[in-house]
Amino acid sequence: MPVLTEEQTMLRDMAREWADKESPVTALRRMRDAAPAEFYDAAAWRAQAEMGWAGILIPEAQGGAGMGYLSLGLVLEQLGRNLAATPLAATAAATSALILGGSEAQQAEWLPRIAAGDVVAALAADEGPRFAPEKIATTVEAGRLSGTKAFVAEGDSAQLFVVAAIDGLYLVSGDEGVTRSPRKLTDSRSHAQLRFDGAPAERLAGGTDLLTEVTDRAAAALCAEMLGMAEAAFAQTNDYLKTRVQFGQVLASFQALQHRMAKMFTELELMRSVVEGALEAIDSGRGDVRQEVSLAKAVAGETLHLVSREMIQLHGGIGMTDEHDAGFYLKRARVIEAMWGNAAWHRERFARLNGY
């Protein structure tokens, strides 16, 4: 943990307490079974907005807390621990585009409503199943945007989209020229294909660099969620090994398992460092954000992958049942690993940035 301000410590503790009390994994299970049209927990989102989380990135003048990405990460980490189905990360990604590229008028129109939790926003960039920002084909003519976006997180219900086109980012709001089709993935969360047919669009300032800055921020925020997921999956597995008895011994007493757990713990410590490192790099406006984000997403992706697999294996048969939480971690893990660039994509970018 970097040295937190008092405000950040309070934020983290509050988020931890809220997530444990109000949003355990059973809440995701309930949402999955109820399958609301928005595919998130609307009541919980309302509560999160009331606590100010929707406005963590938004300047105070526009109704937010003006706290930055490390603070956002502290909250997402706690929510990730319990797999909270919240549009917070997607909304924050779109918010970062407004803050970096929005005009005064655009910011004044949207940021206060986002901070209040009245608007869920989403970032629509990819047009295929794999992260490929260089393959964007969406076009804008005379203020009308056309193209198809695949697997947009919170695409089922977002009222505001930040959409990547060939020449930069655009705001699209309202339903004119927008067709949404749900794409149900393993994580039970909202992902939708969006078809834009001449949807009215407003340009954000900045070219394709803005897309990189925004997807880097989106990736860093997800890394924090991944950190919470990996730590919770690990802790649950550790607890289970201490209670399950076979051959007259608790499983935790077997050295073969102890060393696997020690190895995972080691990777988790490294993961925490790189995730916090990326969030801090963004907050301090450093020049190496791309590198730090790629480091974080690659390490986070591999570590969560490892921990989510081991969670099932070390739980044995019980981990295979829908009744147990292990499957929920596994099914969210693969989705979040792929979003905004999987480990291989980020390793490749890291390699190029470092002359390999």
Of the candidate spans 37-45, 46-54, 213-221, 259-267, the one that interacts with another protein by CB under 8 A turns out to be 259-267
Does residue 350 touch another protein according to CB under 8 A? yes
| Minimum distance, C-beta of residue 101 to another protein, in the bound complex (Å) | 29
Please select the residue that binds another protein; options are 19, 178, 223, 299, rule is CB under 8 A.
299
Residue 347 in the binding site for another protein (CB under 8 A): yes
Q: Which long-range contacts (CB under 8 A, 24 or more apart) does 283-292 make?
A: 283/68, 283/69, 283/70, 289/213, 289/216, 290/212, 290/216, 290/349, 290/353, 291/350, 291/353, 291/354
CB 114 within 8 A of CB 121: yes
Residue 26 binds another protein, judged by CB under 8 A: no
Measured from the CB atom, the residue of 202 and 348 that comes closer to another protein is 348
Of 40-79, which residues contact another protein (CB under 8 A)? none
Q: Smaller CB distance to another protein: residue 16 or 332?
A: 16
- Burial of 49-70, coded b for 16+ CB within 10 Å and e otherwise, reads beebbbbbbbeeebbbbebbbb
| Contact status: 3 vs another protein (CB under 8 A) | yes
Residues with Cβ within 8 Å of 3's Cβ and at least 6 positions away in sequence, in order, are none
Residues 6+ apart with CB under 8 A from 296: 219, 220, 223, 274, 275, 277, 278
Cβ closer to another protein: 119 or 299? Answer: 299
In the numeric block, the tokens 């984000």 are attached to 293
Tokens for 275? 């995730």
Rounded to a whole number of angstroms, the minimum distance from the CB of residue 262 to another protein is 4
Considering only 265, 313, 320, 321, the residue that binds another protein (CB under 8 A) is 265
Nearer to another protein, 161 or 350 (CB): 350
Closest contact distance (angstroms) between CB of 307 and another protein is: 13
Q: Is 30 in the site for another protein (CB under 8 A)?
A: no
The CB-of-271 to another protein minimum distance in angstroms stands at 8
List phi, psi (to 5°) of 73.
Answer: -60, -40
Residue 146 bridge partners (DSSP)? 139
> Does 5 sit near another protein (CB under 8 A)?
no
Q: First CA to last CA across the chain, in angstroms?
A: 31
By the criterion CB under 8 A, which residues form the site for another protein? 1-3, 238, 241-242, 248-250, 252-255, 257-259, 261-263, 265-266, 269-274, 276-277, 295, 298-299, 347, 350-352, 354-356
